[in-house]
Chains A and B, each alone.
Chain A
Amino acid sequence: MRDFWRRYRRNKGAVLGLVILFLVILMAILAPVLFPGSPWDMVSAPFMPPGEMGLLLGSDSLGRDVAAGIAHGARISLLVGAVSTLAALLIGVTLGAVAGYLGGFADDAVMRFTEFFQTIPSFVLAILLVAIFNPSISSVVFAIAVVSWPPVARVVRAEFLSLRSREFVQAAEVLGKSRLSIVLTDILPNALSPIVVLASLMVATAILLESALSFLGLGDPNLMTWGFLIGAGRSVIRLAWWMSVFPGIAIFLTVLALNLVGEGLSDALNPRLARQRGAA
């Protein structure tokens, strides 16, 4: 663990990413304390520029506090990012493990299925899914999970393919362990590091996807999100630039932080690769 942290720390960008991410999480946790009451409440005159009437980031067309919207939106963005990534991991790891461990026909079938999902325009499918199942936080999470599992399945399959013929797996087979327990206790733990790196990048992508969906008006109508804020500011951008600028910066910083953390994790978990990259 100490070793891990030492290697992670060497990547300065990754440390910066961790700090930003920590601050965003803090903002999400403290949102009800910093901005008590609903972010939908009117608190001032409409279209107040930043800094006026005690509003740090200005107010929107209905006199709502943009800063409050951003703080409360952080909760939804992080929640959707984390939950949909977990769901996508569940699908991807299961399919990838089946394909990689069983091989043969199962492998072929799963890979064709994965290829199909990688071919179709995933964002269009996500829009369709949310529209048909009516916008709500669960349909958004479902749609994001459905379109983001294929890379996981591919990575997990490749790892399982190379691990399954290794001696410790053969030893477990000879010992008469069941297939399920070999997969769960012998192979999966050894395949974990690429999954962790991928997961951190997937949270970033999921946050971007969520913001795009709610920008198009497909967010949960009862929840304040960053994408919704930008969507609301779109038509009045000539009048109130701050309505769309600040939520966008929030998304940018959060996603950037996650990407940086992902790179740091990759360096720390694959020391050999990182050293090569440092030398190049």
Chain B
Amino acid sequence: MDPTKLIGFLLRRGLKAAIVVLAIVVCNFLLVHAAPGDPASVIAGQSGAADPLFLEQLRKQFGLDQPLYVQLWVYLKSVLTLDLGFSHRQQMPVASLILDRLPATLLLTGAAFVFAIVTGVTLGALAARRVGRWADSLITIIALTFYATPLFWVGLMLVLLFSVWLEWLPSFGMSSVGVELHGMAAVLDVAKHLLLPALTLGLFYLAVYARLTRATMLEVADQDFVKTARAKGVPEGRILRAHVLRNALLPVITFAGIQAGQLIGGSILVETVFAWPGIGRLAFDALLARDYPVLLGVFFCTSVMVVLFNLVTDLLYAVVDPRVEVSG
């Protein structure tokens, strides 16, 4: 691709992403001020019970006695310098609380995503190849089931089956408590803990990707270039892989980008069920303690993650499909 075009494309997309992030910050600000009661007590994270002197200090610090637009400016400046406030419950800056938990969440959502997309695309491709056969009925059943089942309940049922009844896998945390493991053993330990949460989070998206792959593959298989390939005598397996599947993957990529937000939202539930020490669990604990600065920080951080992920899928799309107009 033409490098100057690509840079222009990157700049435009980057600008768009920046505007979205800015809008999220404003959204957070408005939420604090829309809350019933004193914004200072929301920032303090202790509704009604905070020390009046402390609240007075917060009011000064955030300029709560100043007009609204000044406050917004102060807030914007602090967030954009990555100062997400202070959690008085945990006596830690919110940004470092979130950064501590970020790797665990990335591991969980990443594993779930890879599992969902690999299995989903495979099943979908199998189903499209033999419409009406076992793979076809299987994805219909999986889709109907997981569209209708609450994520957290799927997690609990997996715990019940694999941890309580079969005793095969651990049901909570990210690593075994009280044992010191190194090297390969530590990796395996984390992998064992990861299996159930990633499965829970991935199953729903597996169904989504399988259905989407099946539908687009059937659509692409009808097009002229596939008939041409067949007429030229290209082997059927190669047609499916190189001609049909490759083109059918594009909508799947787009859709994965659109759903990134849902994946992260789902991880809050899954982390709560499995006591996985990620951002979701942090949000749940903050919820119980009504620690608003942490909640607002989590909302900001997850939104930024989604924006970044969308940026990556946009780029990927432009790289995979040279026809895509980078000017759009």
Contacts and interface: CB of A to CB of B under 8 A. Distances in A.
Interface in B1-54: 20, 23-24, 27, 31-32, 34-36, 42
A120 B150 contact: no
Given A120-B261, A121-B264, A204-B148, A241 B160 contact: yes
Given A132-B35, A211-B150, A237-B159, A124 B283 contact: yes
A50 to B, nearest CB: 15
B164 A241 contact: yes
Contacts of B298: 124
Interface stretch (B178-186, B227-235, B267-275, B318-326): B267-275
A7 B306 CA distance: 41
Interface of B: 20, 23-24, 27, 31-32, 34-36, 42, 131, 144-145, 147-153, 156-157, 159-160, 164, 218, 258, 261-262, 264-266, 268-269, 272-273, 283-284, 287-288, 290, 292, 295-296, 298-299, 302-303, 306-307, 310
Contacts of B151: 212
Interface stretch (A32-40, A51-59, A165-173, A249-257): A249-257
A178 interface: no
Given A119-B310, A127-B287, A133-B34, 9 more contacts: A120-B303, A123-B265, A125-B299, A128-B31, A215-B150, A230-B156, A252-B145, A256-B147, A259-B144
B303 A132 contact: no
Contacts of A260: 144
A127 B283 contact: yes
Given A128-B299, A215-B150, A237 B310 contact: no
A132 B292 contact: yes
A121 B280 CA distance: 12
Interface string A249-280: 00110011001100000000000000000001
B287 A131 contact: yes
Contacts of A215: 150, 152, 269, 272
A6 interface: no
A117 B49 CA distance: 34
Contacts of A252: 145, 148-150, 153
A129 B36 CA distance: 12
Contact of A124 (B42, B145, B302): B302
Contacts of A131: 287, 290, 292, 295
Interface residues of A, number: 41
B150 A127 contact: no
Contacts of A127: 268, 283, 287, 295
B303 to A, nearest CB: 5
B161 to A, nearest CB: 10
Nearest to B159: A237
Contacts of A244: 153, 156, 160
A260 B141 CA distance: 12
Interface string A45-77: 000000000000000000000000000000000
A234 B171 CA distance: 12
A194 interface: no
A245 B160 contact: yes
A122 B260 CA distance: 11
B307 A248 contact: no
Instruction: Count chain A CB atoms within 10 A of each CB in B149, B156, B298 and give the residue with the most.
Output: B156
Nearest to B263: A121
A18 to B, nearest CB: 15
Nearest to B260: A121
A217 interface: yes
A2 interface: no
A137 to B, nearest CB: 16
Contact of B268 (A119, A123, A208, A233): A123
Given A124-B298, A216-B284, A218-B287, A116 B23 contact: yes
Contacts of A116: 20, 23
14 contacts: A118-B261, A120-B299, A121-B302, A123-B266, A124-B298, A128-B295, A132-B31, A132-B35, A216-B287, A234-B156, A244-B153, A245-B157, A248-B156, A252-B148
Contacts of A234: 156, 273
B269 A255 contact: no
B283 A251 contact: no
A124 B164 contact: no
Nearest to A231: B152
